[in-house]
Amino acid sequence: MNDTTVENILEVQGVVMAFGGLMALFKPDFKVKRGTIKAIIGPNGAGKTTLFNIITGFFPPTEGTVRFKGRSIKKLKTHEIASRGISRTFQTIELFGNMTVLENVMLGCHTRVPTSFMVSGLRLPGAKRKEEEMRERAVKILKFIGLADKFEEPADNLPLGEQKMLEIGRALATEPELICLDEPAAGLNETETYVASSLIKAINAKGITVLLVEHDMKVIMNISDEIVVLNYGQKIAEGTPEAIRDNPKVIEAYLGSEA
């Protein structure tokens, strides 16, 4: 089967993740259609980040399979999964604070070379041409994410909203087919949230499939094609934003978590 003929770019099937006695995930089966925005929501501790960690190879699931473009990626390492076409951002900002905005994106350009090599490699004369290519790609991305005038700023100097955009920029640098965004709007004000939502839609309009974890319901309802709802590691609902909004099980899960 040719990669581009696989309608579901991602399939999560029978995945169980146990941390000691804690069942962080228990078979939340779902599929992600190529070219769509799929959201994963659920109360704190529902297993959303754990699911991302499994999809991106940070740890293998206790049981079950993850298929990307029709092939299992369960046994692959993080950099192998990245080079197959999945990238991610983290719930907490993971930028290199003293490095410039441009350097942070350039570091994302390579999926095969460890970061320590990249940092020294950038300064070797032999790596000059590679560096030029990476710079061009990074510049394009920075224009796309709206940070064209911040190239030389240390990442630490950016406001939170721009740091979150930069994280997304770094994830785009690997030229992913699927991007997993873990709470891209967390901590952002209304304007920044609007910018983040617009950027996610623009990424999707380029043909990149988006898997989105987010607590901001306005963002979720506005931009998702489909939503999966997790609670205590299990899938309690799946459907369009309209269907999820009025689902009594979903409302109960959220009210329960606030109580």
Ligand X SMILES: Nc1ncnc2c1ncn2[C@@H]1O[C@H](COP(=O)(O)OP(=O)(O)OP(=O)(O)O)[C@@H](O)[C@H]1O
Residue of 6, 16, 18, 45 that binds ligand X (CB under 6 A): 45
Q: Is 46 in the site for ligand X (CB under 6 A)?
A: yes
Q: Is 19 an interacting residue with respect to ligand X (CB under 6 A)?
A: yes
- Comparing CA positions, the residue from 59, 39, 58, 74 lying closest to residue 181 is 39
Provide the minimum distance between the beta carbon of 91 and Mg ion in the complex, in angstroms, as a whole number: 5
Min dist. Cβ of residue 43 to ligand X (A)? 7
CB-nearer residue toward ligand X: 24 or 107: 24
Select from Mg ion, ligand X, none the partner in contact with residue 70, using the beta carbon and a kind-dependent cut-off of 5 to 8 Å: none
Residue 42 binds which of ligand X, Mg ion, none (CB < 5-8 A, kind-dependent) = ligand X
231 near Mg ion, rule: CB under 5 A = no
HEC-encoded secondary structure of the chain: CCHHHCCEEEEEEEEEEEECCEEEEECCCEEEECCCEEEEECCCCCCHHHHHHHHCCCCCCCEEEEEECCEECCCCCHHHHHHHCEEECCCCCCCCCCCEHHHHHHHHCCCCCCHHHHHHHCCCHHHHHHHHHHHHHHHHHHHHCCCHHHCCCEHHHCCHHHHHHHHHHHHHCCCCCEEEEECCCCCCCHHHHHHHHHHHHHHHHCCCEEEEECCCHHHHHHHCCEEEEEECCEEEEEECHHHHHCCHHHHHHHHHHHC
**What are the Cα distances from residue 165, in Å, to 97, 121, 213?**
14, 26, 15
Specify the residue, 72 or 257, whose C-beta has the smaller distance to ligand X.
Answer: 257
Cα–Cα distance between 17 and 59 in angstroms, integer?
10
Q: State the binding string over 102-141 for ligand X (x if CB under 6 A, else -).
A: ----------------------------------------
Among 10, 25, 41, 49, binds Mg ion (CB under 5 A): 49
Q: Which is nearer to Mg ion, 49 or 197 (CB)?
A: 49
Distance of closest approach, residue 129 Cβ to ligand X, in angstroms:
40
**Rounded Cα distance, 173 and 232, in Å:** 33
24 binds ligand X (CB under 6 A): yes
Q: From ligand X, Mg ion, none, which one binds at residue 47 (CB under 5 to 8 Å depending on kind)?
A: ligand X
Query: What is the per-residue binding string for Mg ion in 81-110, x denoting contact by CB under 5 A?
Result: ----------x-------------------
Query: Least distance in Å: CB of 235 to ligand X?
Result: 13
* Binds ligand X by CB under 6 A, chosen from 48, 88, 164, 235: 48
Contact set with ligand X (CB under 6 A): 19, 22, 24, 42, 44-50, 91
Contact set with Mg ion (CB under 5 A): 48-49, 91
